[in-house]
């Protein structure tokens, strides 16, 4: 990007998202903190139905509290009449706070940010999809409608900030060519994320962190685990961290496969607290964008078994040949067994991956590039 003359001017930025969960929320919180440290004034807008202790704790732990505050009001999951109220409230808030940048995250955040910016002089709308409408099946009525709306909104978008090259390619294939500013800005880890976890303290062989949904491929991982053995011939163990709509289905599968004594579900917990209890991290997803959980596992010096979906190849870098095909219990079994049998080889692969991630996925670079995009959008709008 070109250097912008007014790039030292502090900005007033409103981050808009619906559900404060997962990697999207981590991205927003980390970005908010970094921008605030640089003197920008940032505010958060999120759905009022998603209020819990963990959400509030993440906000309270920010080194610099959001200067423009945290606003919560109803933001429905699907497009409907209630969106008009949400958009109008965001628009009114942006006017009251004299916001320079409305930055939407996820499908509904992007929808509201761009509509709320219409007709507002000196306010630009940027959008990071985090999958966005592409998370909805294109062959369903909802998926088709959302893609039509996304194409319409392209004309009201000052910048599309893609978290991976895969995300940009998928967006352009399904929605259309990006004519506005459209850089790829990789998610970044904090310096403290590069702290090794002591494998000697791990009580489980494998650790999974994420939503308990079928799209995460957990059922294939459980099928694979049945026959994975330790050196002494006992069955390998797994810790599952996370919550979600398929929890009951997975509990039933665990019972049917005879894995009750080998699989422990611990609910929603910070990723590193779960990874610390497993020797090997595993991510058997059927679809991803650029998952923070894979970055966090690698940053913590954990061997990582993952499927070749979304932008995971960008995270694996020179170790990408180790990625597995999705929807294959057989491939997962082989990788899990080999990693248990040859920990030295797994350690060497992990070290190569760690160096790649240190070089390409830093919070400083992520924030530099997003900040630069804001200034460039504002200059274009003058």
Contact predicate 89/96, CB 8 Å: no
Would you say the CATH fold of 191-360 matches that of 12-188+362-381?
Answer: yes
pLDDT by residue (tens digit) across 36-49?
999 999 999 999 98
pLDDT by residue (tens digit) across 119-170?
888 899 999 999 888 888 889 998 999 999 999 999 999 999 999 999 999 9
Residues 6+ apart with CB under 8 A from 129: 106, 107, 110, 160, 162, 163, 167, 171, 289
Q: What integer pLDDT is reported at residue 132 of this predicted model?
A: 86
Question: Span 227-232, mean pLDDT?
Answer: 97
- Paired strand residues for 281: 207, 304
DSSP per-residue string spanning 301-336: T--EEEBS-TTHHHHHGGGGGG-B-TT-HHHHHHHH
* Residue (of 192, 282, 195) closest to 236 by Cα position: 282
Residue 3: pLDDT over 60: no
Domain spans of the chain? 12-188+362-381, 191-360
Question: Span 101-127, mean pLDDT?
Answer: 94
Residue 323: pLDDT over 90: yes
Distance separating alpha carbons of residues 163 and 27, to the nearest angstrom: 10
Q: What integer pLDDT is reported at residue 4 of this predicted model?
A: 46
SS3 letters for 92-117?
A: HHHHHHCCCEEEEEHHHHHHHHHHHC
pLDDT by residue (tens digit) across 161-196?
999 999 999 999 999 999 999 999 999 999 999 999
Distance separating alpha carbons of residues 117 and 178, to the nearest angstrom: 19
CATH numeric code, 12-188+362-381? 3.40.50.2000
Considering the domain delimited by 191-360, tell me its CATH architecture. 3-Layer(aba) Sandwich (3.40)
pLDDT by residue (tens digit) across 257-294?
999 999 999 998 889 999 999 999 999 999 888 999 99
- Paired strand residues for 101: 13, 124
């Amino acid at each position: 990007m070109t250097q912008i003359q007014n790039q030292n001017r502090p900005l007033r930025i409103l981050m808009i998202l619906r559900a404060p969960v997962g990697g999207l929320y981590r991205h927003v919180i980390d970005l908010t903190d970094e921008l605030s440290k640089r003197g920008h004034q940032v505010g958060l807008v999120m759905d009022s139905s998603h209020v819990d202790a963990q959400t509030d704790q993440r906000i309270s732990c920010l080194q610099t509290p959001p200067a423009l505050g945290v606003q919560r009001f109803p933001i429905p999951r699907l497009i409907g009449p209630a969106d008009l109220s949400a958009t109008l409230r965001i628009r009114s808030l942006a006017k009251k706070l004299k916001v320079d940048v409305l930055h939407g995250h996820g499908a509904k955040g992007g929808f509201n940010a761009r509509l709320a910016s219409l007709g507002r002089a000196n306010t630009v709308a940027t959008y990071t999809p985090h999958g966005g409408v592409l998370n909805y099946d294109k062959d369903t009525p909802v998926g088709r409608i959302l893609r039509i709306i996304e194409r319409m909104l392209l004309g009201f978008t000052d910048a599309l900030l893609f978290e991976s090259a895969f995300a940009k390619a998928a967006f352009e294939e399904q929605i259309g060519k990006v004519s506005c500013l459209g850089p790829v800005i990789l998610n970044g880890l904090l310096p403290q994320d590069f702290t090794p976890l002591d494998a000697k303290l791990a009580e489980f062989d494998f650790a999974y962190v994420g939503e308990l949904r079928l799209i995460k491929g957990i059922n294939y991982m459980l099928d694979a685990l049945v026959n994975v053995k330790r050196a002494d011939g006992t069955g390998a163990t797994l810790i599952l961290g996370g919550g979600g709509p398929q929890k009951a289905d997975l509990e039933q599968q665990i019972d049917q496969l005879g894995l009750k004594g080998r699989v422990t579900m611990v609910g929603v917990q910070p990723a590193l607290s779960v990874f610390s209890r497993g020797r090997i991290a595993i991510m058997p997803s059927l679809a991803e964008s650029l998952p923070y959980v894979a970055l966090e596992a690698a940053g913590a010096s954990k061997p990582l078994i993952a499927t070749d979906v979304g932008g995971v190849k960008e995270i694996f870098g020179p170790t990408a040949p180790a990625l597995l095909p999705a929807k294959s219990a057989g491939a997962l079994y082989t990788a899990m067994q080999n990693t248990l049998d040859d920990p030295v080889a797994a350690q060497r692969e992990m070290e190569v991956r760690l160096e790649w991630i240190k070089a390409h996925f830093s919070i400083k670079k992520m924030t530099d590039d997003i900040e630069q995009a804001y200034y460039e959008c504002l200059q274009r709008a003058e």
